[in-house]
Structure 1
Amino acid sequence: MEAPPRHASAFALDLGPEKRLRWAAAFVFAVAAAALSFALASHDAVADRPRCSEACWFGLTLLILPAAAWLGWMLAGHVPLRLRWDGQAWHLGAACAPGDMEERAVHVRVALDFDDWLLLHIRSTRGWAPGRYLALCRADQSAHWQALRATLYVAVQQRAGEEGAPPWT
C-alpha cells in the first residue's frame, strides 16, 4: 500500500529581529573593538616615540566600545518580515508596511536545526544574490513552532520531487 503524497498547507509567520542574536552581535563587536584598541595601545607603548599616553588609550577605548556594540546591534537587526508558504512556494516580504518591501518568491533551506533554534538560509528565486540568514527560536515563535518545522521539512520533500527543482531547496 502506498502512502498518499504529503503536501504542506499554507502557512505564514511574522519574524522580528532575534534579540539574543542582536545582544550576541553587540558583545562580539565590543570585544573585537576592545582587542583592537588594546593591541594598538600595546604597540604604541613599545614604539620608539609613543603617540598617546595610557590614559588617552583608555579614554579612546571607552569611546570605541559603545560605538562598536551599537554597530553590532544595528547590523544584526532587520525590519519585521513575513515568511509565507502558499502550498507551492515560499514568499518573503515586509510584515507591517507592505510598501516597504514587496513580497517575492524565495528558496528557504534549513542551514542549522537545534530543535529549539533554527537558522534559515533564504535565497531569491531570481538572480545570483547570496541570500540572507534568519535566526529563529522556539521562545519567540512558540505558537507556530511545530507548524513551521513541519512546513519547512515537508516543503523540502515536496520540492525535491519536482522536476527541475534546484538542489539547494
Structure 2
Amino acid sequence: MSAGLMCQQTVLDGMEILPLPHVPVKKQPHRLELPEDETPAHHVLRLYPEVNHCVMCGECVRMCPMDLDVMGYVGMIKRGDLKSAARESFTCIQCQLCVIRCPASISQPNAALAARRWLGAHQEPRAEHLTRMVEKVDSGRFTAIFRWMRRMDPMEFQALYLRREREPDESPPGTWLPEDRTLL
C-alpha cells in the first residue's frame, strides 16, 4: 500500500482510492516579531517543541509525495539550521501525509513553514527590488489602476490577462522586462 495525491497519480487498473482522514494540524498562531532574547531558531523550537521528539523512524520520508527528506529537515530545525531546513522543505505542498504517519505527532510542514518565515524575516537579506515595489504600492501609485481593473467586466479582464506579455521560458532569471513598464 502506498499513499499519494490524486492530482499526481496515474490511474492504474485495480487501484483503490480512499480519502485521507481529517488530520487536526497543530498550527501555532504567530507574528514575525521576535522577543528580544530569542533567535529565530529558538522561536521555531518554542512553537513546535515536538520536533525534538522525532524518533528517526523515516515514515514521514516514505509518505512524502514530493520526495522530500522530511526527517532531514526536521533534524535541521532541531539543530537550529533554518537555512538548510528552508531549502530542503521549500517544495512542501502541506498535504500533511507525513503528519498522519508520524508516531511522535510532529507537525513537520508547519514547523518547516515557520522556519522559512523566520529565516526570511530575520536572517536573509532584504530583496531591494521587492522593497522598492512595496514602497510604490504603499505610496498609492497603483490605486487608480486597481480601481479600474475592479470595475472591468470579467470577460474583458480575462481578455486583458490573456493578451499580457509573458516572460519567455528560456530567459535567464532576473533579465527579462516587459515592453509595457507602467506597473514597474
Question: Normalising by structure 2, what TM-score?
Answer: 0.26
Question: Normalising by structure 1, what TM-score?
Answer: 0.28
Q: If each structure's helix is expressed as a fraction of its own residues, which one has the higher value?
A: 2
Bigger Rg, which one? 1
